[in-house]
């Protein structure tokens, strides 16, 4: 394989993890699960490795149809292994990815980052910026995902905060100043989460946001 071909493959392999994190649902799942861990009363339940794996799993689950379309378009070109074929595959794969980003990015974010990208360039180069360029769509999508994740996280946090406040109030009224409220509230939080079938509701709700 020629050095140019190796460089093209290296560039492709470097971009793929970046796109997996920022151009899929990974951000939303990762942030929601991180907030849930904090709401439960610490950073040990569930372990960080488990939440990362779950976020990655559901990102693959949600974007599997997009990945199949990407492979159908880019796979034949990649079989040649040359730098030109890698470039052709990247161009072909951009279409399904762009369609996914457009579908799940609100107009406000798209317009905002389109305007920002134009302002970052000299006046002579601004017309070359497209409203649906990946350079515009990826940060717009990531911002929209973060905003949605924080909204979901806020709603998740509230019932656990109420339990924490009630437990802390009861402990103070009983004079148990040295007993950490977190140690007492954790079983009640887990009980509430299990009774509400929290895992199913969270994952189903997040997945349905992409239908």
Task: Flag whether pLDDT at 1 surpasses 60.
Answer: no
**Enclosing domain of residue 47:** 3-153
User: Are 30 and 64 contacting, i.e. CB atoms less than 8 angstroms apart?
Assistant: no
Tens of pLDDT along 49-108?
A: 899 999 999 999 999 999 898 888 877 766 666 667 767 777 888 888 999 999 999 999
Does any domain span residue 75? yes
User: Are 97 and 21 contacting, i.e. CB atoms less than 8 angstroms apart?
Assistant: no
Does any domain span residue 190? no
Q: What is the DSSP string of 28-43?
A: HHHHHHHHHHHHHTSS
- Greater confidence (195 vs 182) lies with 195
Does any domain span residue 142? yes
Q: Say what the pLDDT of residue 6 is.
A: 58
Tens of pLDDT along 145-161?
A: 999 999 999 999 999 99
User: Are 15 and 94 contacting, i.e. CB atoms less than 8 angstroms apart?
Assistant: no
Does any domain span residue 182? no
Does any domain span residue 202? no
The Cα–Cα gap between 55 and 22 comes to: 12
Q: How many domains does the chain have?
A: 1
Does any domain span residue 41? yes
User: Are 30 and 51 contacting, i.e. CB atoms less than 8 angstroms apart?
Assistant: yes
Does any domain span residue 38? yes
pTM above 0.85, yes or no: yes
């Amino acid at each position: 394989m020629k050095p140019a071909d190796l460089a093209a493959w290296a560039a492709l392999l470097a971009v793929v993890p970046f796109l997996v994190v920022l151009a899929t649902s990974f951000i939303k799942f990762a942030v929601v699960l991180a907030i849930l861990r904090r709401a439960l009363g610490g950073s040990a339940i569930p372990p960080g490795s488990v939440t990362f794996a779950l976020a990655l799993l559901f990102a693959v689950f949600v974007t599997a149809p997009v990945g199949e379309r990407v492979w159908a378009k880019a796979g034949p070109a990649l079989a040649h292994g040359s730098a030109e074929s890698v470039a052709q595959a990247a161009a072909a794969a951009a279409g399904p990815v762009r369609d996914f980003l457009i579908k799940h990015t609100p107009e406000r974010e798209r317009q905002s980052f389109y305007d920002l990208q134009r302002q970052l360039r000299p006046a002579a180069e601004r017309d070359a910026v497209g409203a649906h360029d990946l350079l515009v769509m990826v940060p717009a999508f990531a911002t929209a995902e973060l905003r949605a994740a924080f909204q979901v996280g806020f709603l998740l946090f509230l019932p656990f905060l109420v339990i924490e406040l009630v437990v802390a109030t009861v402990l103070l009224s009983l004079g148990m100043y040295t007993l950490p409220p977190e140690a007492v509230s954790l079983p009640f939080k887990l009980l509430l989460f299990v009774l509400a079938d929290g895992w199913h509701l969270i994952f189903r709700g997040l997945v349905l946001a992409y239908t």
